Structure 1
Amino acid sequence: MLIFARAGLVRVARPVSDFYVAARLMPAMFNGMAIAASFMAVLVFVGLAGGLGPDWQGVTTLLLGGGAGLIVAGVLLAPYLRAYGGYTLPDFLAERFGGDKIRPLAVLAIILCSFPALATVLLGFGMLSAALFSLPAVTGIGFGVAMILVCTLIGGMRSLSLSQIAQYALLLAASLTAVMVVLWQAETLLGESQLLIDEVIPGLGLQDFAQDDAVNRFALICCLAAGTASLPFLLMRSFTTPTPGNARTSFFVSVLFAGALCLAAPAFAALFEAAWVKSGDNLSMIAEGVLTVAAIAGLLAVGSALALCIANAVSYDLYFKDAHPTASTRRRLFVARLSVILVAGLAALAAMAEPQAMLTGTAAALSLAASAFLPALVLGVWWKRASADAALAGMIAGLAVCLYYMIAPHTIPFAFFESSSVFSNATDAQRSAYESLQQSYYLTNGAAQEAVLAKWDAAARPIANWWGVRGAFAGLFAVPVGFLVMIGVSLFTAAPSEDVQRFVKGLRERTV
């Protein structure tokens, strides 16, 4: 805690650019470490979405999908965002597509895909305090809020960057310790190599690709890649490097840094089992200490990035750019810091009041981010013909399809199935059972009808889907819709102005 506090407590008197983009002085290597520390959030997202099995099986899928997303961001987006020279993702979209309409929508999309995840991080602090220290969950949530403020409030992105570097260093140290402890249990050097072959390598989850549900495995990898490339709290690190080339490099090296942490997953799984034996032996004590350090560092790295991402969008894009463009530097920094406090406080209240809703929202974060941002960002950078109306339509269409597929099968399963039954993965037996219960419902009355309705509902929910894809992976449908809508509307509306087309051309020239 002292290390994190020392990293976050920088000098108060710093320029605005220091608060929003760390004065654009972050070297690629250190920026990659900060990205990798934030990337640990993907573990939470994928786990909540059902992407990881017991003992972290399927972590290889995480590496492939998430690593691909980081590379996509490094190739297609990060250097061009840095070449723009602004402070936030909504600010870039507003400059590229003409701001008044798209800026508030971009801020709303950031809140949708980031706020539930921040509340879930605070829930993690609550569970950690209850499990390890026998303290009320509220105390742990309050501690999490306090530490997030320590890591972000004073220096903004400067504080966050230094804190995340320290957090990654401790995560890496904890990972190496976990691996060494697991190897130490082999007792002999000869046994160490055998342990790696028999336990650690199979634990990576290569066999996970052989599971029957190929559709959701494909959907998981697609949503991981598209979502990781679009997560605002990762993309905001593009603005912090000295040059566009550094931004590209930082995302590339972050794959290696994140891979180092993920490869320790089997060792962490083994220590997790040992930690809860509670036998008081050396292994249990070491395991609990290592897990505590890793959990707190990971939660803080993610939570601080999420809180600052939301607060920057609110304070810079809504307050300064839209409401008070003539605000003084002192007032802007005051509002920015106040936004961090409000965002963290509201997330704590949401975590305590609606924990299940926050968990559900976190599982959807990848799909929401990809649906809202990926088409607009990719086409905005790489296609000069993409128009402002098209970007707005594409973002709305992507979010609408994503939210519809996530919500409708649970709230209106009958209407959803009957309106798109041709796309369902229902078997003939399931369709027959559904139709039989439907007829029975309309032929019965009174209390019997309520019982039939319950059975009918239970029969409808498993088949209310498109090709069996889980709701958390709605981005598989929403992202293509966003691209198609944006391309179609662009072709049928006026081309962007010459100034906008020169702006896009300039982005590419400045990244060479």
Structure 2
Amino acid sequence: MRDVFDVSIRLRRYFTLYTGVFVALVLVLGVLEHFGLPPRWIGYSFLFLTIILYATIGVLARTANVSEYYVAGRRIPAIFNGMATGADWMSAASFMGLAGTLYLSGYQGLAYVMGWTGGYVLVALLLAPYLRRFGQYTIPDFLGERYGGNAARLVGVAAVVLASFVYVVAQIYGVGLITSRFVGLQFEVGVFVGLAGILVCSFLGGMRAVTWTQVAQYVILIVAYIVPVAMLSYKATGLPLPQFVYGEVLAKVEVLETRLFDDPAELEARRLYRERADAIYERILNLPDSLHEERQRLSQKINELKNGDARMRDIVVYERQRRELPQNADEARDRWDSAMHVAAERGATPTHHSTAYPGNDESERNLARVNFLALVFCLMLGTAALPHVLMRYYTTPTVREARNSVFWSLFFILLLYFTAPAYAVFAKFEIYSGVIGSSIAELPAWIAAWSKVGLVAIEDINGDGLLQLAELTLNPDVIVLATPEIAGLPYVISGLVAAGALAAALSTADGLLLTIAGALSHDVYYKIYRPQASTQWRLLVSKTLLLVVAVLGATVAAQKPASILFMVSWAFSIAAAAFFPALVCGIFWKRANRAGAVSGMLVGMLLTIYYLVRVQFDSIPWLGIHGIGMAPWFGIQSVSAGVWGVAAGFVTIVVVSLLTPPPARSIQEFVEQVRYPQMRV
């Protein structure tokens, strides 16, 4: 015990020194910027110096020991496991997407804060100590040992791969955004550059290297998150305490909202967007004739411009529009339906930031309330069931340390989540007061810069030369990254934020890739296919699979499938439906058996995927699938698809377990020992 204490003291000294060095680096770059260092070089410095740092830690912590590779030798002290869990948890969704979602949806976005933090209460009470007491390497490993046989293990592996892969695609997508904006790389190239930083840690040292890299990444991401909003707070209120004074700025935002929402030019812009949505709807109804008419209209316009000696630039615009027209009625329906919804959203009456459960009538407000609660439910249970998070509690020396590390995880996560609402309010104040109403010809440079990445768009639909709120489209992923530029802070702060976002994405991606590779190599290759495999072969297979999964994830991320927070929410619903019922029943109900667990996981996971796909997508063009959309059940949106899967999973496990023979007596006794270790069965 004394040795563990001495190691903890020594680690605290190391990471205190590391934090000081990082702060000194930021200050040095700030001074160099003052003396003329170009912004691009600041971006290069933050990107490559931090990746080199993570790579160095990965090399120093490399290992060929199986226990070290999968569970860091079960020697991580609680406070450092809490920091690593915080970094593992603070993905690109938390760092980049949370404040952006709060910016766009106001009060409704608090569902993410409540769900994600509440999930750790479930981890501490229901799962972490018991899983640590079981003493396995992976979640499928627990399922295989608890329920017996390979069926539960294989279904668990499939669920781990699916949920973690969706999650890791979101992280790699975030890396692509960061590198493409701050280093000037093409998005697709930036995705694979960031992938190298992800692989260097998890590939060499497994969980041991990933843990110490994540501790280092947590320091960077929390500094990067708090410093800019603290500067905004000082600029707006005179106090660098955004978490405590943002209510004052929120009052100013509400005044601005009242003025902007009722501005005649704003009302005109929204009316024009609604008319556009109606016109697109008419075109959809008249397919395929409307597609042919649109092609003829563009051809006629091009001929008129050519005959009238128009500028070649104008002709090229219409030729591109004709070239990009849908090829058939199905493609036109999909594309125009998406454009119709965008126009309808921009034409809708905006909601005040502090409005809870917005809606035009009581029915809509009740629906908003239901979706809020459903999302909180899915995020809580998804948090408690995410394999890459639960794996972290296998790395502590004791069960008590596992429980303590949940406390430290919550503490370190709270530092960011307590700040996110303030980030959204200060960003909204800066945009509403400094950008909306400005001349479109004189908009700040950040709008053009982020437009090139595809996260910002403007359109002067009413032709008055001024930017109305409805004419500005902001992707939620841009708010945190662009806020320093929006507020006119030094570019070194933008570079710091980019480094923090990169740390958040890399730390989570490392944990996810290790989880996927561990499930495939340990639970499929070693436990099922080749139990006699040597340590060297097991690690080689794990690293090979990790590389393959990483490249596949980068390939999918390069297609920009959805916003980060949407993809992450889907992963939470899938994890909640697939794992939570089986884990809870496996720990607290000794009568739960293999048939029940396998049936429950399959039913829950498949129902969730079915609902998610049918509600979210009207078509999947790259698979040639069209017309698959359906209305949500009771109005619950796709991000909360896990509501149905979790309920179905619990019911299936209970019913099937009661209708089939109970598990072996030895398994039931072992479950009792895990729950009540002081008992002798």
TM-score by length of 1: 0.82
Matches within 5 A, 1:80-479: 80-186=130-236, 188=238, 195-199=245-249, 207=354, 209-211=356-358, 212=365, 213-266=368-421, 268-269=423-424, 270=426, 276=446, 283-353=489-559, 355-356=561-562, 361-409=567-615, 464-479=631-646
Specify the alignment match of 2:455 in structure 1: none
RMSD, aligned α-carbons:
3.3
2:83 aligned with 1:33: yes
Aligned length: 465
Name the aligned partner's letter for residue 639 of structure 2: A
Q: Is the 8 A contact 1:409 1:465 kept in 2?
A: yes
SS in 2 for 1:276: helix
Cα distance between partner residues in 2 of 1:381 and 1:298 = 32
Specify the alignment match of 2:656 in structure 1: 489
Between 82-91 and 211-220, report the one with greater CA deviation: 211-220
Cα distance between partner residues in 1 of 2:555 and 2:661 = 46
Name the aligned partner's letter for residue 179 of structure 2: S
SS in 1 for 2:204: coil
Q: Alpha-carbon deviations, 1:4-54, whole Å to 9, x = none?
A: 223222354441100000000111111111111122238359959x96452
Name the aligned partner's letter for residue 506 of structure 1: Q
Q: Alpha-carbon deviations, 1:214-236, whole Å to 9, x = none?
A: 11101111011111111111111
- Counterpart of 1:6 (choices 30, 36, 56) is 56
Q: Alpha-carbon deviations, 1:88-108, whole Å to 9, x = none?
A: 000000000013111111111
Distance 1:480 1:53, change over 3 A: farther
Cα distance between partner residues in 2 of 1:228 and 1:167 = 21
For structure 1, list consecutive stretches of 5 or more residues without a partner in the other structure.
414-453
SS in 2 for 1:87: coil
Distance 1:181 1:467, change over 3 A: same
1:511 Cα deviation after fit:
8.5
Cα distance between partner residues in 2 of 1:109 and 1:44 = 23
Q: Is the 8 A contact 2:576 2:642 kept in 1?
A: yes
Q: Is the 8 A contact 1:186 1:195 kept in 2?
A: no
Q: Is the 8 A contact 1:45 1:365 kept in 2?
A: no
Specify the alignment match of 2:667 in structure 1: 500
Cα distance between partner residues in 2 of 1:317 and 1:243 = 24
2:644 aligned with 1:480: no
Cα distance between partner residues in 2 of 1:112 and 1:193 = 36
Distance 1:500 1:56, change over 3 A: same
2:69 aligned with 1:19: yes
Q: Alpha-carbon deviations, 1:88-139, whole Å to 9, x = none?
A: 0000000000131111111110111111221221122222222222211122
Q: Alpha-carbon deviations, 1:346-386, whole Å to 9, x = none?
A: 11122225735998654411110000000000000000110
Cα distance between partner residues in 2 of 1:114 and 1:264 = 27
Cα distance between partner residues in 2 of 1:475 and 1:45 = 23
SS in 1 for 2:634: coil
Name the aligned partner's letter for residue 192 of structure 2: G
Name the aligned partner's letter for residue 99 of structure 1: G
TM-score by length of 2: 0.63
Q: Alpha-carbon deviations, 1:159-180, whole Å to 9, x = none?
A: 1100111111112222331243
SS in 1 for 2:60: coil
Cα distance between partner residues in 1 of 2:240 and 2:387 = 46
Between 207-216 and 316-325, report the one with greater CA deviation: 207-216
Q: Which protein has the larger Cα radius of gyration, Structure 1 or Structure 2? A: 2
Q: Is the 8 A contact 1:46 1:363 kept in 2?
A: no
Q: Is the 8 A contact 1:117 1:359 kept in 2?
A: no
Distance 1:386 1:206, change over 3 A: farther
Q: Alpha-carbon deviations, 1:397-449, whole Å to 9, x = none?
A: 11122122122346789xxxxxxxxxxxxxxxxxxxxxxxxxxxxxxxxxxxx
1:473 Cα deviation after fit:
0.7
SS in 1 for 2:633: coil
For structure 2, list consecutive stretches of 5 or more residues without a partner in the other structure.
1-49, 254-351, 359-364, 432-444, 450-484, 620-625
